[in-house]
Every structure is written in C-alpha cells, then in structure tokens.
Structure 1
Amino acid sequence: MAGIFGSAPAAATSTTATQGSIANDVTLNGAQTDSIQDLSFSPVSGHLSVASWDNKVYIYEVNEDGSNQGKTMMDLKAPALSTCWSKDGRQVFGAGANNQAMMLDLGSGATTPQTVAAHDQPIKCIESISVNGQNMIVTGSWDKTIKYWDCRQQNPVASVQCKERVYAMDTRDQLLVVATADRYVEIFNLNQPATAYKTIQSPLKWQTRTISCFADATGFAIGSIEGRCAIQYVEEKDSSSNFSFKCHRQNAPNTRDVSNVYSVNSISFHPVHGTFSTAGSDGTFHFWDKDAKHRLKGYPEVGGSISCTDFNHNGTIFAYAVSYDWHQGYAANNPQYPNKVMLHGISGDECKPRPNAKKR
C-alpha cells in the first residue's frame, strides 16, 4: 500500500485544508553551539531537555504560551546523543559518545550529575521504563547491546545482545522496540525484559533512522533514509493493518518523474490523540492519522533539516530542532547552518484524528 498518504510537498504557496502555518512558532532561548541530536519533554511538566553535539544536555522550562527559559545543564564531556526523563519527572538523563549515561536529580536539588550506566561504545539511545513496578532506564549502544539499569546500583540488572548496533529505540507502557543496523527491529515485552519477544527486519528497504511506539503500545512507526514510513503492529493477528507510505520527497526541478528523497529523521506520537508526526532532512514536518491513512497537516520548510522532535506531556506543544542532521557527512556542516529548537503550539484540529475514521 505504498504512497497511501500521497507524497507530502515540502511547501505550499497558498494555505489549504492540509497546509499548516509556522508563523507563530516560538524559538527556544537555547545556548546550543552544535547540532541537536535529541529532544525530550518531561512526562509530567513543561520541562524540556535538549541533547547536543556540543557535549551538553540543556534543561529548559517551557510554558503553555511558548515562553521559556534555561534552567540548568549537564556536561557529558563528549557529544550528547540521547536524553530522557524519569517517569515522575524528577530526574533527567543524558547519554552519548563518552560511552556513559548520566543523571541529574532535579528533585533533590542536585547540581552535579552522576554516572548511572556504561557501555563499551557510544550510547545512542536512553529511555525511562518501568519493569515489574520498578522505575529503571534502558540504554542502547553501538556495542550491539541494550542494558537495563537500576540507578541505585553500579552494574546493569540485565544485558541483552542485539543483532547489530543500536540506531533507534522507543518505549510505551510494556513495549520496547529497538532498531539496529542491517534493518533489524527487536521487540521486547518489559514483563520479560531480558529476552526479545520477537525479532523482525524492517518493512522498509533502507537504513532505519527513527522508531516510535504507538500511543496504545500495540505497534510502532519506523522511518528510514529513503523517505518512507511504515506502520507495524506487534501481533500477527493485526498484520493486515500494516502498511508503508512515502513522505519527505520533493519533485526534482523541471521534472515530472524524478523525486528528491529525504531521510525521515524523527517520528513522535501525540500523547492524547494517538496521531503522529514525521520530520525530515527536507526541513518539513507533517501530522498524520494512521487509522484513517490520512495526512492531517503539512508545514512549510523551516530553513534547515529537522533532526528530532517531541510532543509535551499533554500534547499542546510540538518541539522540533532545526539543525544539521549529518545526512551529507561532516563536510556539509558549517557554522552558518541553523541550530535552534522551535516550539509549535497545537491548536484546533491540527492533531485530532480524522472524523469518522475507522478505529481499531
């Protein structure tokens, strides 16, 4: 069912029912001096953490009107590749190229971060989870392992060998999905976290860039470098609802049959409506309804690649980073490239499911 949503245009010259506006988006008062790799909103408040290649994880307070201010930061001493929050929002985590994960306990008023996880190679992903009622973190590394950590202990609770290097990871409720090199996806039930529930290969043909769990934890969306997104359910009984579609593609200038294809860098699910966003190297983001197989809104180019995105805990703000995403290697990066986080207020029906859509 390729192209079921239709290709999403990069920009439109006139406003239409599916064309959104970024005119009122607010710039985060950020201090990042290098590419932004990850964004994470607190699950209980308006706090936002930003992981940057300048070695730091920055923490901001974002109000409902978009006003914001920096609160504190962690220095990892190496590029920060991932960030997340504890379930209660008291601790913020950062992980990266120093092969470690660090925690700053904001709830206790601590100002010095502590090391809570370590791998043999850079940690690409970190997520907060609950295993059998115990709050923990899980880290995924280029050393081809994921590890579960109780932050009160020095050693991992469990370590799982993956098929390949970990590229992307997400969790919702008891579902954990881990996307690795060679297009593998390893699916875990956190009631039995030490063994993969099942392992599949991505339904997409090219390298995975991002993966994100459905709001109801029945499956996940996965994006790749070829400008495609796939909707994939965990259980075989739901496999008839799996599909993929083209996005983040543009018609090449002066041609009708040639498209420029852009990487899908980030997918985020709306915490209330269950709809989702895609964002890519073409510098656009779009909101989709997977059940109706319908694009809700598309937005104009923002002036640079969008490297990562996240919704706040109640779905009223969508944050996106305009930053170099390394899709053309180090040589294409330059000091003039935009490097900022934008805050888009969700209004009206922007993220609401399509009326009368068939729901599962």
Structure 2
Amino acid sequence: MAAFGAARAGNHNPNKSSEVIQPPSDSVSSLSFSPRANHLVATSWDNQVRCWELTKNGASVTSVPKASISHDQPVLCSAWKDDGTTVFSGGCDKQAKMWSLMSGGQPVTVAMHDAPIKEVAWIPEMNVLVTGSWDKTLKYWDTRQSNPVHTQQLPERCYAMTVRYPLMVVATADRNLIVFNLQNPQAEFKRFTSPLKYQTRCVAAFPDQQGFLIKPCLSSFFHD
C-alpha cells in the first residue's frame, strides 16, 4: 500500500465538475462508495486500486488521496464490506484481493479463478464474498479459507452482477440472464435470454428486490 500524490497541472474542465486528485492513468473500470464514510474507491486498467476521501466544499467536492494498492494486471471490479473497513477488488490477474483500508493493512489474496474476475460482491447476510469470472463460474468465499465454499457453473463468461439479498442477477456472454435466490444459492431460480439486441454490460437490482434493470451498450430494459 502506498500514498499517492499531487494534482496534475493544466487539467481542462469545461463542465466545472469536481475532479479527484491524482486520477487513474488509464480507463476506470469500477467506482465504489463506502457505505460508512465519504470514501471513494476506483479500479482501473493501470493495475491500481485507489481510494480518496471526499469533502463537500460549498458547491464543489474536495478529494484527498488516501492510499492505493496494485494488482499484477488490470483491475476490473471492486466492492466494499458492509462495515466500511475493507475493500475487495478483482481483475485480469485472476485473483480477488481483500484490503483492510482503515487499518492500513496490506492486501491479501482471498479468491482465485482460472480466468479474469469481472465482478465481486460482499453479501453480509451470508458473510461471504461472491466472485464472477470469465472462466464461466461464480464462486462463494469464506475469506478465512483458501477454497471456495461453493462453485456455481454459468452458461458463459460473467459480464455483470448485482446483489440485493436475497436477489442476485448475473449477466453472461450470449445475452444470458441468470437469477438466483440467495436463500438457496446452489440452484438457479430462473434463466432467460435478454430481449435486447446487444450484450448486457450492466445490471442493477431494485432496492426492494422485486426486479432489476439491465443496460447494454445502447438501451435499457426493466424486469420484475
């Protein structure tokens, strides 16, 4: 873990947006806000996971770089533990790391796949981490153990995932959408093909767990 530095000179910001200090040097792959504090984590294709503390300053937001960690290859996803002390990240190095941000600890590898990890989510009701990969599996992890507590085969590569316990929806290649009831996570609740023409790239569950939204490149679709 390392601190990181000063703002770049000469940033052009025609929209008057608030820009974070020392942004990623390559494409951002995920953004995750802490559930307990004004902390933002970003993962990116420069192999980094970065955290900023955000403070409202009048009409603008001030960012303070807190710390960063590295993966061996591009990082694709991130998630916070529900207590706001720990960050999970996964990526093209086929591993998920657990980073105890608040204590300043070093990242620990807690999950492994045979292909890049595209999605991670912490499920506090089950006290497990779930990881979705391009190796066509979902894996559930007790972070105190080196082996997954359950591996779920998928029809294709995992591209997107959302969790609102007990609802979990996974979007895979070939426009598959798989719905799980996490009260019985070892069985699919429902599987169907997206009615949209393009591959699903984002899926978000409703807060009341009664439906979800899918978003491909060009359009969106509601389902309940």
Per the normalisation by structure 2, the TM-score is 0.89
Secondary structure of 2:43's match? strand
1:76-134 Cα distance to aligned partner (Å, 9 max, x none): 11000001100111100110000000011124331x1000000000001111113xx43
What's the counterpart of residue 122 of structure 1?
116
Identity of counterpart residues, as a percentage? 43
What's the counterpart of residue 219 of structure 2?
228
Q: Which 4+ runs in 1 deviate beyond 4 A?
A: none
Matched, 1:209 2:201: yes
Matched, 1:98 2:93: yes
Q: Contact 1:103/1:115 (CA < 8 Å) preserved in 2? A: yes
Structure 2: gaps (5+ residues): 1-13
Structure 1: gaps (5+ residues): 1-21, 234-360
Counterparts of 1:180-259 in structure 2, within 5 Å, are 180-225=172-217, 227-233=218-224
- From 152, 158, 163, the equivalent of 2:150 is 158
What's the counterpart of residue 34 of structure 1?
26
Counterparts of 1:277-356 in structure 2, within 5 Å, are none
Q: Contact 1:87/1:135 (CA < 8 Å) preserved in 2? A: no
What's the counterpart of residue 10 of structure 2?
none
Output the amino acid matched with 2:223. Q
Output the amino acid matched with 1:68. S
What's the counterpart of residue 42 of structure 2?
50
Output the amino acid matched with 2:87. V
Write the distance in 2 (CA, Å) between the matches of 1:53 and 1:136.
Answer: 26
Normalized per residue, the structure richer in strand is 2
What's the counterpart of residue 82 of structure 1?
77
CA RMSD after TM alignment: 1.4
Give the deviation of 1:69 after TM superposition: 0.9
Secondary structure of 1:137's match? strand
Output the amino acid matched with 1:62. L
Write the distance in 2 (CA, Å) between the matches of 1:135 and 1:74.
Answer: 24
Output the amino acid matched with 1:196. E
Matched, 1:73 2:65: no
Write the distance in 2 (CA, Å) between the matches of 1:204 and 1:30.
Answer: 38
Write the distance in 2 (CA, Å) between the matches of 1:193 and 1:115.
Answer: 24
Output the amino acid matched with 1:136. V
Secondary structure of 1:185's match? strand
Higher relative contact order (CA 8 A, sep 6+): 1
Output the amino acid matched with 2:49. V
The number of residue pairs the alignment matches comes to: 208
What's the counterpart of residue 62 of structure 1?
54
